[in-house]
């Protein structure tokens, strides 16, 4: 079901018992909440899953001009958690950066924190992270002048070296909503340099997990270099915060889609640990 997110006005996709422990799930770029977290239904037995559409995505209103992305997402999610009286927090990709920002700013509202492949490339000196930061900066400088289809093609090439024809084949069936998500991604503040406070997160008493895919060559091809960058960032976040570090070896960027049973088991274990 879809519902408005109270004080934030965000569109939420809610499932599970209304009196279940609340879980807020935040999606990344080029997607929506339901497309990012479709396979977590087994967790609805005890938990109230609240899958967010970030501003400009899915059913949520657009952000005000010039403030799209993590600055407003951080405040939106914190306000939602406050309205709920606290919740477990899960973020994928860009949503992982948002979740880290929220947990650092409002640790009192976070019962547990799980982030998957947060693209904080600028915090790492790993060569692939440095190269991706520079390349994404270049793309952002060009992005406003590109057709959205061309921007999308260049984005996926920059990250994973996906050939143009493969991106075009992948996007050929996209709906208007998919292209709206791409446009929202182009407009939002880039996540690489978001001011995540690792020291503040180290003080968080709730369980924390940082997960990545293993980016095996047979799945990722040349994108294994992107996987190295995500792994370096995750290693640094885990070292700085004391978070548990988990790798889903048979996945690339979205293990919640490719290894859903493993991700669901990790989430349940983390949430149960928070209750002890």
Quick one: tokens of 118? 């947060």
Query: How many Cβ atoms are within 10 Å of 193's Cβ, its own excluded?
Result: 15
Predicted confidence at residue 4, as pLDDT, reads: 61
Ordered structural domains, the chain, with CATH: 2-125+188-275 (3.40.50.1820)
With a cut of 70, say whether residue 5 has pLDDT above it.
no
Residue 54 per-residue DSSP state:
P
pLDDT tens-place string over residues 50-75? 999 999 999 999 988 888 999 999 99
Nearest to 30 by CA among 184, 136, 220: 184
With a cut of 70, say whether residue 163 has pLDDT above it.
yes
Instruction: Say if strands 110-116 and 87-92 run parallel, antiparallel, or are unpaired.
Output: parallel
pLDDT tens-place string over residues 76-135? 999 999 999 999 999 999 999 999 999 999 999 999 999 999 999 999 999 999 999 999
With a cut of 60, say whether residue 2 has pLDDT above it.
no
| DSSP string for residues in 194-262 | ----HHHHHT--S-EEEEEE---HHHHGGGHHHHHHHHHHHHHHHHHHT-EEEEETT-SS-HHHHSHHH
Q: Look up the pTM and report it.
A: 0.96
């Amino acid at each position: 079901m879809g519902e408005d997110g109270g004080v934030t006005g965000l569109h939420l996709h809610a499932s599970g018992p209304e009196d279940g422990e609340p879980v807020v799930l935040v999606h990344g770029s080029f997607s929506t909440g339901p497309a990012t977290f479709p396979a977590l239904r087994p967790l609805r037995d005890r938990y109230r899953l609240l899958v967010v559409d970030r501003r400009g995505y899915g059913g949520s209103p657009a952000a005000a001009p010039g403030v799209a992305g993590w600055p407003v997402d951080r405040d939106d999610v914190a306000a939602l958690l406050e309205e709920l009286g606290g919740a477990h927090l899960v973020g994928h990709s860009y949503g992982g950066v948002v979740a880290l920002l929220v947990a650092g700013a409002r640790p009192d509202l976070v019962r547990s924190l799980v982030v998957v492949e947060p693209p904080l490339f600028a915090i790492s000196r790993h060569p692939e992270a440095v190269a991706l930061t520079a390349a994404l900066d270049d793309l952002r400088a060009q992005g406003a002048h590109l057709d959205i289809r061309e921007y999308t093609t260049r984005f996926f090439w920059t990250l994973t070296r996906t050939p143009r024809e493969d991106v075009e084949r992948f996007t050929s069936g996209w709906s208007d909503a998919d292209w709206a998500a791409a446009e929202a991604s182009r407009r939002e503040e880039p996540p690489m340099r978001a001011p995540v406070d690792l020291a503040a997160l180290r003080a968080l008493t709730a369980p924390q997990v940082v997960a990545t895919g293993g980016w095996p060559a047979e799945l990722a091809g040349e994108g294994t270099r992107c996987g190295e960058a995500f792994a370096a960032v995750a290693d640094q976040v885990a070292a700085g915060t004391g978070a548990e570090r988990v790798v889903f070896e048979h996945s690339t960027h979205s293990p919640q889609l490719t290894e859903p049973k493993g991700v669901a088991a990790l989430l349940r274990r983390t949430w149960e640990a928070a209750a002890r």
